[in-house]
Amino acid sequence: SMGFFDKLKAGLTKTKKALVAGIDAIFGSYRDVGDELFDELEELLITSDIGAETAMEVLDTLRDKIHDERITEPEKAKQIMDEPGILGYFCDSNLERLSRSEKLAEKYSVTVAQIAMAWIFNQPMDVFAICAPINNEQLESNIKAMELKLTKEELAWLDLK
């Protein structure tokens, strides 16, 4: 039977395929880049599994690039969507980071989210995470993540080095 990570990876792969197909359909059905295209794209992204906040970041980034590069053809706009940092959230390297985070979480008996926060807190430069716990349980979880010390080797491993 499939383990948790395999199920998650399969689900993300399915989500990415559906998202890419939807994006292809939207960009293929318009002759120019305008409000209607963006409205349809916004609906697709918000109703996908990437979440509303990520969807709005993707749309804002796309709008800025289209404006800055004066793009009017949907096909050229779609090429921007293919760039890392737009739909790069679902790339193989991020799935590998997730897998590695899951293994470290198991090693330390913490959550993957705590490993992600510990990674931030263990950076050699001054990095500040903005955490907004909504209850005492989340606050305690964040404090535990702050206290978790990852080794240089573990940090490099999470960075795929």
Confidence of residue 110 (pLDDT cuts 50, 70, 90): very high
Radius of gyration from C-alpha coordinates of the chain: 19
Cβ neighbours of residue 20 closer than 8 Å, sequence gap 6 or more: 87
Cβ neighbours of residue 101 closer than 8 Å, sequence gap 6 or more: 112, 115, 116, 119, 158
In this prediction the pTM is 0.50
The Cα–Cα gap between 52 and 101 comes to: 24
Q: Give the CA angle between residues 67, 84, 113 to the nearest 5°.
A: 115
Token pair belonging to 93: 């390297």
- Cβ 124 vs Cβ 27: under 8 Å: no
pLDDT tens track for 24-73:
899 999 999 999 999 999 898 888 766 677 778 778 888 888 898 899 99
C-alpha of 150 from chain center:
22
pLDDT at 7 over 90: no
